[in-house]
Amino acid sequence: MNQEKRLEGKVALVTGGARGIGKAICERLAAEGAALAIVDIMLETAQETVDGFVAQGVNAAAFAANVAKMTDAETTIKNVLDKFGKIDILINNAGITRDTLLMRMSEEDWDAVLAVNLKGTFNFIKAACRPMMKTRSGKIVNIASVVGRMGNAGQANYSASKAGVIGLTKTTAKEFATRNIQVNAVAPGYIQTEMTGKLSEAATAAFLQVIPMKRAGTPEDVAAVVYFLCSSDSDYVTGQVINIDGGMLM
């Protein structure tokens, strides 16, 4: 018996979709039938990921953009509309870290993280909302973080940016609700990625100590919740922030 692909005919744009959590989200959405617009600051990186999807029969295309630039966001949305004709799903996943204690943090490190993580999310929501409003349909999922809710020493810029994403999520959810556009966020905790793989054994042990489930999450754990928020099962869910953290923050 053929399993129904519940996102068949949908077009999903994923920023930072070439690697890590973003790629896992792309894999899950593609498995459910969605076409993919994969955005990365490096076109070559995005194209390599797209080539892998195309080889599996997925309708996918790569787009280069610096999410921190509004002109890049506007151009990308236009190019995606030219390629696919519509945008049903927007996943704001692109993000960076520049970790250090606040007393040592440079203005440049503060500005860079806020520009990509928060302003980049704003840019793509603003650029994509009009096409969604015209069709009176859309799903927007922003990737926040548990540190945006609880803080974390050495991550003043990152935690502030993700707290901003949470506030932006709630506000845009209220603004877009009557247009049938649901806006939600997920807040991953300690997830096994290339970034967390660089942590010391002591740092990893410290994280696991405060996670009731005593294990790290996987990018696929995040992708599963994002898929729910992109599916019709979440049509009455908006303005929410769902922790994906093994119980670390309750």
| Positions marked catalytic | 158
CA distances from 107 to 102, 113, 122, 148 (A): 10, 10, 21, 20
* DSSP β-ladder status, 11-15 and 241-244: unpaired
In whole angstroms, what is the distance from residue 36 CA to residue 27 CA?
9
Residue corresponding to tokens 């606040």: 102
In whole angstroms, what is the distance from residue 90 CA to residue 124 CA?
8
Helices (H), the chain: 20-31, 43-55, 70-84, 107-114, 120-135, 147-150, 156-176, 201-209, 219-230
In whole angstroms, what is the distance from residue 239 CA to residue 34 CA?
23
Residues 23/102, Cβ–Cβ less than 8 Å: no
Q: Residues, the chain, total?
A: 250
Residues 86/13, Cβ–Cβ less than 8 Å: no
Give the list of residues 6+ apart from residue 189 with CB closer than 8 angstroms, or none.
145, 146, 211, 217, 243, 244, 245, 246, 248, 249
